[in-house]
Amino acid sequence: MARRNNIDICADILRVAQVGAKKTRIVYRANLNFKILKNYLKMLKENGLLKNEDGFYLTTSKGAQFLEQYNGIISF
């Protein structure tokens, strides 16, 4: 199995967070560990792709656009 790159990992995190998820759910669904997840969450929040509301992470509309474009490229 091929290794995932940063964009693949970001897409996995955003996909899990579309319906709202806590860190633990993201760790298990995106197959990451907490240390790595912390860096990705920070980066995604700084770029407006993810938001944190009461401990739940949610994909923003900008994050949803990213996922749409990502899925389009992957299916190509």
Which pLDDT tens digit goes with each residue over 4-25? 899 999 999 999 999 999 999 9
In a domain, 1, yes or no: no
pTM of the model: 0.93
Residue 60: phi and psi, rounded to 5, are -80, 175
Extract the tokens encoding 8: 């693949």
Residue 27 vs residue 1, higher pLDDT: 27
- Per-residue pLDDT band at 44 (split at 50, 70, 90): very high
**Which is nearest to 13 in space by CA: 42, 39, 33, 37?**
37
In a domain, 26, yes or no: yes
Which pLDDT belongs to residue 21? 97
Q: Domain with 23 in it: what CATH number? A: 1.10.10.10
Which pLDDT belongs to residue 1? 56
Instruction: For residue 46, give its domain range.
Output: 6-75
Which pLDDT belongs to residue 31? 95
Domains in the chain, number: 1
